[in-house]
Amino acid sequence: MAQLITPADLDDLLRSDAGGRAVRVLDVRYRLDRPDGRADHDAAHIPGAVYVDMETELSRHGRPEEGRHPLPERAALQAAARRWGIDRGATVVVYDEDRALGASRAWWLLTRSGVADVRILDGGLPAWRAAGLALESGPVVPAPGDVSLDPISEPVLSIDDAAALPAAGVLLDVRAAERYRGEVEPIDPVAGHIPGAANLPTGAYMDGERFRDAATLRALFDTVGVRPGVSAAAYCGSGVTAAQAVFAAELAGLDLRIYPGSWSQWSNTPGRAVATGATPDDVTGTVTAPA
């Protein structure tokens, strides 16, 4: 279940954690234009926060046809989680400073791997700063943790599952509207969207850096047909920001799965149909060659 924590409550948790092991804070700063957030972390972070790298720890290097951020193997993720100092039974708090996009990926991977108490810092680092709470600088290298991770607990969509879903449920594209319409494509080899997919961009779920309230989120999801009992999944450019939509859906009491290959996999797979424009079904061509 999606959980938020306020800066004040996190500050209280950290102050009460005398041994420094019951609470583990993870700094997951990641942006498309600055994927490596380590320098930002070293400059200033929440006390005790461990830097988590999106490219090497929350994903693995794969072939282009797997997408840009394939899910990490269980053993690799467990090794990383222990390196971050996560112990069995610990409360884990994740944050970033860009609409909880990186934090949501960490939240999704850890909760689906059996970590019971994972929370996203409401408002991220900007809210922590605005509250006037303490920051520290320099790298953080904790003693290794002893957490054990399970295999991912829910089925994720394959590329064929994503192709079939619009006929039976809702496939949600959470990229910016101009990328969905195929007007621009700054990263992947083909512009457009998966035929039948609806569009509800990542920014719709947020009020600045904070998630909107549950009623507002339910109403937003309802506009694209994501409702209780409806089979639904989200995709984005590379499977990272789709996790933010899953978190928002859970706040709204809804179920949403992930297609981790996302547009980066689809657009690198020859023969896949491509739709452009503002409607879900305007098929305009196919992917003709891998990148």
Residue 17, token pair as written in the block: 């954690």
User: String of b and e for 73-92 (b: at least 16 CB within 10 Å)?
Assistant: eeeebbebbbebbbbeebbb
Residue 164, token pair as written in the block: 């079939």
CATH number of 159-286: 3.40.250.10
Closest CA to 79 of 151, 139, 153, 148: 148
**Domain 4-130 top-level CATH class:** alpha beta
CATH 3.40.250.10 domain extents, the chain: 4-130, 159-286
Catalytic hit among 149, 236, 256, 258: 236
What one-character DSSP code corresponds to residue 45?
A: B
Helix (H, G, I), strand (E, B) or coil at 35: coil
The pLDDT of residue 62 is 80
Crossing angle, helix 101-112 and helix 242-251, to 10 degrees? 70
CA–CA distances in Å: residue 53 to residues 1, 83, 84, 101, 157: 24, 12, 11, 13, 24
Give phi and psi for 231, each to the nearest 5: -70, 120
CB-based contacts of 28: which residues, under 8 Å, 6+ apart?
A: 37, 52, 54, 58, 94, 95, 96, 102, 103, 105, 106
Question: How buried is 240 (Cβ within 10 angstroms: 0-12 exposed, 13-18 middle, 19+ buried)?
Answer: buried
CB-based contacts of 136: which residues, under 8 Å, 6+ apart?
A: 44, 45, 46, 47, 48
Residue 251, token pair as written in the block: 């706040």
The pLDDT of residue 289 is 59
Quickly tell me which residue has 């295999």 as its tokens.
151
Confirm whether 236 is a catalytic residue: yes
The pLDDT of residue 252 is 98
Q: Are strands 273-275 and 283-286 parallel, antiparallel or unpaired?
A: antiparallel
Do 129 and 63 form a contact (C-beta atoms < 8 A)?
Answer: no
User: What's the rounded Cα separation, in Å, for the pair 177 and 170?
Assistant: 17
pTM given for the model: 0.95
pLDDT tens per residue across all 291 residues of the chain: 789 999 999 999 999 987 788 999 999 999 878 889 999 999 999 999 999 999 999 999 888 788 999 999 999 999 999 999 999 999 999 999 999 999 999 999 999 999 999 999 999 999 999 999 999 999 999 999 999 999 998 889 999 999 999 999 999 999 999 999 999 999 999 999 999 999 999 999 999 999 999 999 999 999 999 999 999 999 999 999 999 999 999 999 999 999 999 999 999 999 999 999 998 887 778 888 544
As a whole number of Å, the end-to-end CA separation of the chain is 38
